[in-house]
Structure 1
Amino acid sequence: MLRDLVPAVIGILVRRGADFAAAEDAVQDALVEAVRGWETDPPRDPKGWLISVSWRKFLDATRAETSRRRREEQVDRLAQPEPPPAPGEAADDTLYLYFLCAHPSLTPASAVALTLRAVGGLTTRQIAQAYLVPETTMAQRISRAKRTVADVRFDRPGDVATVLRVLYLVFNEGYSGDVDLSAEAIRLTRQVARMTRHEEAAGLLALMLLHHARRRARTGPGGRLVPLAEQDRGLWDTRLIAEGVDVLQTALARDRLGEFQAQAAIAALHADAQTAAETDWVQIVEWYDELVRLTENPVARLNRAVAVGEADGPRAGLAALADLDPALPRYTAVEAYLHERDGDEATAARLYAEAARRAPNIAELDHLTRQAARLNARLRR
Structure 2
Amino acid sequence: MELDEARKLWQPEPGWLNTASYGLPADPAWEALQDALTQWRSGRNAWEEWNDAAERSRVTFAGLIGVPARDVAIGSTVSQLLAPVAAALPPGATVVVPEVEFTSNLFPWLVQEQRGVRVRTVPLERLVDAIDADTDLVAFSLVQSADGRVAPYDDVVAAARAHGALVSVDATQACGWLPFDAGRADAVLVGAYKWLTAPRGTAFAYLAPALRERMRPDAAGWSAAESPTDAYYGPPLRLSADARRFDIAPALFCYVGAAPALEVIAGIGVPAIRAHDVALANRFLTGLGRPPGESAIVTVDVPDAQERLDRAGVRAAVRAGRVRASFHLYSTEEDVDLALNALTG
What's the TM-score once normalised by structure 1's chain length?
0.21
Who wins on radius of gyration, i.e. which is larger? 1
Which structure has the higher relative contact order (CA within 8 Å, separation 6+)? 2
Relative to total residues, which structure has the larger strand share, 1 or 2? Answer: 2
Structure in which a larger fraction of residues adopt helix = 1
